[in-house]
Chain A
């Protein structure tokens, strides 16, 4: 008996949202609502909202003005992926270094690095593609 490929049973898409600058606020609200419904506690939901906002802001400001956010639950984690058509993150982002308090920029990715339990920065030369993961306790 043959079977068609099925998604892994413990993967569930929560949100798939194209966005531009005008949607940043509703994007934060949507991420918070879905993370909360998935059982993430409040402090970690706030962390995830910040991560989603910073990645989306990067797409809006440096990645061509718009992007796409996907949020899904996978096993005991919530994964947030933001893709855009921009040049992608510069390689200087790794290894992550905390910007000086007075520095002009770099704070967004530092916060994402610190708030995420795991971070994947894909550099395939085809736009920005970052996946951040937060563990459900």
Chain B
């Protein structure tokens, strides 16, 4: 149980959990899950809690998905988790599963090739009646998904749920989805970004991490002709790490492009080293608090 997978490998019938610490990474994986569902002509149901439905829709749009259009046309529904899980303020596994079965049936009746559901599970932190049925719900939900060939990613925030609950959660899901990670320690995280395709580097990077950075950039450029290098949460970059980025950009094929999003301090380093003169590179500075 809980085999590692990537969001792009999920198949109809799969029941996966996403245990996350970084809200940006959660949004990226949710966006990939939605994108793949829309592309596969499935109906997509996004249940959100930590951020509002309007905010989530905006985040999906910002990542290049035609989310508002899909929502208007009925293919995508973004709504509050609590509305679905706790319609009268209490949780009942059977009622919830019945509701989901109805959604799966309705998606088929409406001509979609199945349903995919992603739910922010932090509603379960509320002191609600029936919460003891959570694991029973997850286990029966897995059966329902398998029988009905629907797909789900249940999102659990590691910073909110206790470790015992998280361990039970991982046990009851067949897969755990996470971003492909090239480096992860207290100072630096380098992982794949799914929507848009690229690399996300957060924390502080110096010459000691050029090997995973090179690997991440090479793999991203192998996957897509236009990659985003998301450095929005990068606080520090040194000359050697900046050089790796420049060399990766210079090694791009003529039809490849790289958009670098970064804070002003990182922008300045890359700019002084000539990043804006490299063909195919687009630099975007964002506010430090974005």
A-B pairs with lowest CB-CB distance, top 10: A107-B239, A108-B239, A101-B274, A46-B265, A102-B250, A101-B246, A114-B272, A107-B243, A111-B239, A101-B278
Q: Give A106's nearest chain B residue, CB to CB.
A: B239
Q: Mark A56-72, 1 if CB is under 8 A from B, else 0.
A: 01000100000000000
Q: Which of A47-55, A75-83, A128-136 contacts B (4 or more CB under 8 A)?
A: A47-55
Contact pattern, B 168-191, Cβ under 8 Å of A = 1, otherwise 0: 000000000000000000010000
CB-defined contacts of B236 to chain A, threshold 8 Å: 28, 49-50, 53
Least CB distance, B138 to chain A, in whole angstroms: 40
> Complex Cα distance A98/B269, Å?
12
With A108-B238, A111-B273 given, name 12 new contacts (CB 8 A): A24-B206, A25-B204, A43-B264, A53-B236, A57-B207, A57-B240, A98-B272, A100-B274, A101-B250, A102-B246, A103-B243, A107-B273
Give residues of chain A (90-137) contacting chain B, Cβ–Cβ below 8 Å. Answer: 98-103, 105, 107-108, 110-111, 114-115
Q: Among the listed B247, B272, B275, B278, which residue makes an inter-chain contact with A111, where contact means beta carbons less than 8 Å apart? A: B272
Closest-by-CB residue of A relative to B242 is: A107
Task: Answer whether residue B277 sits at the interface, using C-beta atoms and an 8 A cutoff.
Answer: yes
Q: A57 is contacted by which of B187, B238, B247, B273 (Cβ under 8 Å)?
A: B238
Contacting residue for A54 out of B208, B239, B274, B278, CB 8 A: B239
A93 to chain B, nearest CB (A): 13
Q: Which residues of B contact A105 (CB under 8 A)?
A: 243
CA distance A53 to B269 in the complex (A): 13
**For residue A98, which residues in chain B have a CB less than 8 angstroms away from its CB?**
272-274
Establish whether residues B247 and A108, one from each chain, have CB atoms under 8 Å apart when the complex forms: no
Shortest C-beta distance, B32 to chain A (Å), equals 32
Interface contacts (Cβ under 8 Å), in number, total 62
- Residue numbers in A under 8 Å from B246 (CB-CB): 101-102
Contact A110 B273 (CB under 8 A): yes
Chain A residue at smallest Cβ distance from B271: A114
- A103 and B243 CA atoms in complex are apart in Å by 8
In which size bucket is the chain B interface? 20 to 34
Q: How far is the CB of A30 from chain B (nearest CB, A)?
A: 14
Contact with A along B242-283 (1 / 0, CB 8 A): 110011011000000000000011001100111101100000
Q: How far is the CA of A54 from the CA of B206 in the complex (A)?
A: 10
Partner among A25, A43, A54, A102 whose Cβ is within 8 Å of the Cβ of B265: A43
Provide the bound-state CA to CA distance between A111 and B236, in Å.
Answer: 14
Chain B residues positioned under 8 Å from A43 (CB to CB): 264-265, 268
Closest to A104 in B: B243
Min CB distance A102 to B, Å, is 5
Q: In the complex, A103 Cα to B187 Cα: how many Å?
A: 27
Task: Please report which residues of chain B, range 194-249, place their CB below 8 angstroms from some CB of chain A when the two chains form the complex.
Answer: 204, 206-208, 236, 238-240, 242-243, 246-247, 249
Among B206, B238, B242, B249, chain A packs the most CB atoms within 10 A around the CB of: B238
A101/B275 in contact, CB under 8 A: yes
Considering the complex, give the chain A residue whose CB is closest to the CB of B288. A42
Q: Min CB distance, B235 to chain A, in Å? A: 9
Residue of B nearest to A105 (CB): B243
